[in-house]
Structure 1
Amino acid sequence: MVRPVAKQLWHFNLEGFERLPAEGPAILAPNHISFLDSAFLMLHVPRNISFVGKAEYMDSWKTKYFFPMMGMIPIDRGGGEKSQAALDTAERVLRRGELFGIFPEGTRSRDGYLYKGRTGAARLALKVGCPIFPVGVIGTREIQPPDAKLPKLRKECTIRIGRPINVARYASRGMQEHLLLRQITDELMFEIRELTGQEYRNVYAGKTAETEPTVAAKVATVSDADARELTSAGAGD
């Protein structure tokens, strides 16, 4: 019921959705530029998909029931047992053979840049043995900019599903876990950048440190010697 209404309110361009498996577990990892990103993706993926969302989103009576109904899993970003419980739930979703969505940047980009990815998606994929699909979302920031109360209508949104990242090819490299997670995550962020055309900032979203260019295209084949240099880019998430 929601999808036909959304199509009347906005124009959607969908690319690469045929890449998604008809069955079996997979992680979808989009960039995050608007409150609408997960909702728009969930509307168009032909399978049920669960998403991690900030626990604060459940504070409002309007969202307390709507988000869980859509498959949103609240996560307490303060850490501790509540955060771990959300990750455990995500693992159970994947082990049931379902789709799971997670924003690798960890939070919305308020300025439209693509920020350094956190390693949660890579950790889950390695643990469960499933692929990660990079997802590029374009246009949602114009539909609902940061701090806007209501979305603008009749705007265009493009959602692109990229080629899957097979984490199994990393697992056989015998690398230390933090380097392994960093390599997978850097490849993921590069693929997202290719899908969106965003400028990349080599710092975590919300940080004010100096920024660096994106990791090279061949990050997936970085040698162990080169990989050691990546530790200075925040490998210990």
Structure 2
Amino acid sequence: MRDLVYPPVIAFMKGAFRALDLRITLQGAEHIPSTGGAVLASNHVSYLDFIFCGFAAQPAKRLVRFMAKQEVFAHKISGPLMRGMHHIPVDRDAGLASYKAALAALKAGEVVGVFPEATISTSFVPKEFKNGAVRMAAAAGVPLVPMALWGTQRMWTKGRKRTLTKRHLPVTLLVGEPLLPGRRDDHVAVNAELRARITDLVDKLQREYPDKPAGADDMWWLPAHLGGSAPGPTLATGGD
């Protein structure tokens, strides 16, 4: 698969990171395999998460093919870029085709990126997971790599204005040890384990994050269980 679009986009984004002097910390990148197929599964708190999840695969020199909703591919600007980077469109009314496309990519040795919540969590706590990531990894016989990110919600998330020029912002990324689901495994149980692992990774990042809210008006990006003003998980709305 020729990649004429992806490398220039990565170079552009790295330049933007440097211009903003983002404080990006990445741990556990060694868990992303340097060859062969893999499913990279992450929590979802921001519209920019796919950029930073892809960044986590850079030490392994991998390009991640993300599954994203069809509407992104229909946009006149993002659509050509998404297709040029060989990301995988998801039509929620016809999910079998996107599942087959992702499975083919995995069997061809690609890393496929998935947000199992299928939507941004406005509580900033992992929501219930769809089991597609587990089913794909099991069917393709590839590792299922959990990861978490934190801080991206401060740049652009659901229900908040974009703040894409904020300098020196910490963004933390943590990749966990892979799971190896098999075809005969209980996918519900494996999915529960995946969610538990990602929740643990998110909790670690939240508690070790180097910034604190600047005041009462800045509490929105912190989850309720840590004293923030984000809505609790049962009140948070879905849809991104």
Coarse TM-score class (shorter-chain normalised): 0.7 to 0.9
Q: Which runs of 5+ in 2 are unaligned?
A: 1-10, 207-224, 226-231
Q: Does 1:206 align with 2:238?
A: yes
Alignment of 1:36-115 (within 5 A): 36-46=48-58, 47-77=62-92, 79-80=93-94, 83-115=95-127
Residue 213 of structure 1 aligns with which residue?
none
Aligned counterparts of 2:30 and 2:177: Cα–Cα separation in 1: 10
Residue 195 of structure 1 aligns with which residue?
201
Q: TM-score, normalised by structure 1?
A: 0.75
Aligned counterparts of 1:40 and 1:69: Cα–Cα separation in 2: 18
Aligned counterparts of 2:142 and 2:156: Cα–Cα separation in 1: 32
- 2:178 corresponds to which of 143, 147, 164: 164
Aligned residue type for 1:7: R
Residue 189 of structure 2 aligns with which residue?
183
Aligned-residue RMSD, C-alpha: 2.4
Count the aligned residue pairs.
Answer: 196
SS in 1 for 2:149: strand
Flag the 1:118–1:97 CA change in 2: closer, same or farther, 3 A: same
Flag the 1:205–1:164 CA change in 2: closer, same or farther, 3 A: farther
Contact in 1 for aligned 2:123/2:233 (Cα 8 Å)? no
Contact in 1 for aligned 2:40/2:114 (Cα 8 Å)? yes
Flag the 1:85–1:204 CA change in 2: closer, same or farther, 3 A: farther
The Cα shift of 1:146 comes to: 1.4
State the percentage of identical aligned residues. Answer: 28
Q: TM-score, normalised by structure 2?
A: 0.74
Flag the 1:205–1:125 CA change in 2: closer, same or farther, 3 A: farther
Q: Does 1:35 align with 2:47?
A: yes
Bigger mean CA deviation after superposition, 43-52 or 156-165 = 43-52
Flag the 1:68–1:43 CA change in 2: closer, same or farther, 3 A: farther
List structure 1 segments (4+ residues) > 4 angstroms apart after TM superposition: 198-205
Aligned counterparts of 2:78 and 2:163: Cα–Cα separation in 1: 16
Q: Which runs of 5+ in 1 are unaligned?
A: 174-179, 208-237
Q: Does 1:7 align with 2:18?
A: yes
The Cα shift of 1:98 comes to: 1.2
Aligned residue type for 2:98: A
The Cα shift of 1:193 comes to: 0.7
Flag the 1:51–1:149 CA change in 2: closer, same or farther, 3 A: same
Flag the 1:50–1:21 CA change in 2: closer, same or farther, 3 A: same
The Cα shift of 1:148 comes to: 4.0
SS in 1 for 2:41: strand
